[in-house]
Structure 1
Amino acid sequence: MLRTAVWFVYFASYLVAVLPKLWKAKRLKQKDINDYHDYIHITAKNWSSRLIKLAGGTVHVNGAANIPKDEPVLFVANHQGNFDIPVLLAHTGRKIGFISKMEVKKIPLIRAWMEHLDCVFIDRKNRRQAIGALLEGAEKLEGGRSLIIFPEGTRSKGGPVNTFKKGSFKMAEKSKATIVPVAIDGTYTMMEANENHIITPGEVQVTFLEPIRIHQYDANVKSEELASASEAAIAGKLAGLHPDAESAE
């Protein structure tokens, strides 16, 4: 319980303590856009790393060489738990934003940092807004920004990978950005396995899989095909990590 109390106190107090960093970020944005993005990236990465360390998490990264250099990337990851986000912020080595549900935008300090990270908020209940958000995401990719999506739409909490929703892949279809599937395993053990309110140490495996380059597909490739290919790659990797569980089924 002590670990959990320390973690949540740090999480909340840090958001308040770094208010001066938000003001500095606003000033940097007006002066030098490159310094601004570097500052936001380093701040988010350091905070995420501390959250993982305080929780007692150990992250093992594989396949980092599969991340293309000098081009925007759409990272497509399965979603086991809340720790997926700090794990990816700390270990992609990229200045990245997320496609996030609209509800998160209602949390003031979280919203401020997510806006600086170039996150895109999507309202699944509002089709027009959702389409606009996906177009915004495509524009960010076309402009050189990298993004992360969790196309399951909800946390699996260690269960089988849920069917990937094809809508998220409209961004790749439109922008032609390279997709890097990311298989995440173990984050749910740090929170969701404990009814979401007890933080426990956990071993996490993050594997960046072979990139899916849009130009290697037919020129008229559809989001359904991209969703299916990404889901198959991630589910296959996770099955390989737990062969005993698969054979038990």
Structure 2
Amino acid sequence: MFRTILFYLYFFIRGAFSFIGRAKAKKLSLNSTEETDWQKNKIPRQWASTLLKIVGVKVIPKIETSPPFGAVLFVANHEGNFDIPTLISSVPKPFGFISKIEVLKIPVVGSWMKVMHCVFLDRKNRSDSTLAIETGVKVLKEGHSLLIFPEGTRSKGAGMRAFKAGSFRLAMDSGVPIVPIAIKGTSNIMEKSGMILQPASVHVSILPAIYPEEFAGVSSKDLALRVEQLIKEELTKI
């Protein structure tokens, strides 16, 4: 928990001065859900970009095809704590993500994550996983994009773990495209040096979307294996 609080310290400082902006973001009514989400995600993106600059992180993006308009499910490997700010700053689309419920206790951070349409999961409660999936499906159907890390935990640079199939129900039940993302280098910032933050170069590859018609009738296990293989192959090219 101490590491999480330290990690979000800048978020707290930045968010404390933007609380009024958060309230205004809730009241926005633009032409589309995505346009509204872009406005809501403006401050989190500023936070993420500034945090990476402070630490000395250089993001090297690779976008094979721009993500489609409308809600999508981003699926990424999970290397380190800095995956989230790296992706918030570099993915050309606003999104929320699946997070452990303990983060809600962090002042300002939890409030902003709600604005971003994040979904919270109580890992101590097994039945909560089903509720989180149902909530996530609802969020996606409402037009908000989400990001998941199907490994379930950070690899810390020790090699990608097998993807868990359950979270792929989010795309299957909501009927949204899946956009695979390969991220490499974030473990060099924090995990490999304990609590001492280190400058690093991080590669982010956004792969072409997989549309619902491409995985219609496919089991969640087979879909997870397909996306896992695509990301694994991309990591070997970085």
TM norm structure 1: 0.85
Per-residue deviation at 1:35? 7.6
Letter in 2 for 1:204: V
Tell me what 1:55 maps to. 55
Tell me what 1:37 maps to. 37
Give the percent of matched residue pairs that are identical in Structure 1 and Structure 2. Answer: 38
Q: Which has the larger radius of gyration?
A: 1
* Structure 2 unaligned residues grouped into runs of 5+: none
Residue 9 and residue 130 in structure 1: after superposition, are their counterparts in 2 closer, same or farther (change >3 A)?
closer
Instruction: Map 1:63-212; keep pairs closer than 5 Å.
Output: 63=63, 65-68=65-68, 70-195=69-194, 197-212=195-210
Question: For this pair of structures, how many residues does the alignment match?
Answer: 231
Answer yes or no: is the 8 Å Cα contact 1:11–1:51 preserved in 2: no
Answer yes or no: is the 8 Å Cα contact 2:15–2:108 preserved in 1: no
Letter in 2 for 1:94: K
Per-residue deviation at 1:221? 2.1
Structure 2: how far apart are the matches of 1:237 and 1:14? 31
Answer yes or no: is the 8 Å Cα contact 1:181–1:233 preserved in 2: yes
Residue 50 and residue 154 in structure 1: after superposition, are their counterparts in 2 closer, same or farther (change >3 A)?
same
* Structure 1 unaligned residues grouped into runs of 5+: 1-7, 242-249
Deviation track 1:49-104 (CA, whole Å, cap 9, x = no partner) reads: 00111111100100252422x22111000011111000110111211100112222
Structure 2: how far apart are the matches of 1:13 and 1:98? 19
Residue 182 and residue 9 in structure 1: after superposition, are their counterparts in 2 closer, same or farther (change >3 A)?
closer
Q: Which runs of 4+ in 1 moved over 3 A?
A: 8-11, 30-39
TM norm structure 2: 0.89
Comparing 21-30 with 89-98, which one deviates more in the overlay? 21-30
Query: Greater helix share, 1 or 2?
Result: 1
Residue 13 and residue 88 in structure 1: after superposition, are their counterparts in 2 closer, same or farther (change >3 A)?
closer
Per-residue deviation at 1:215? 0.7
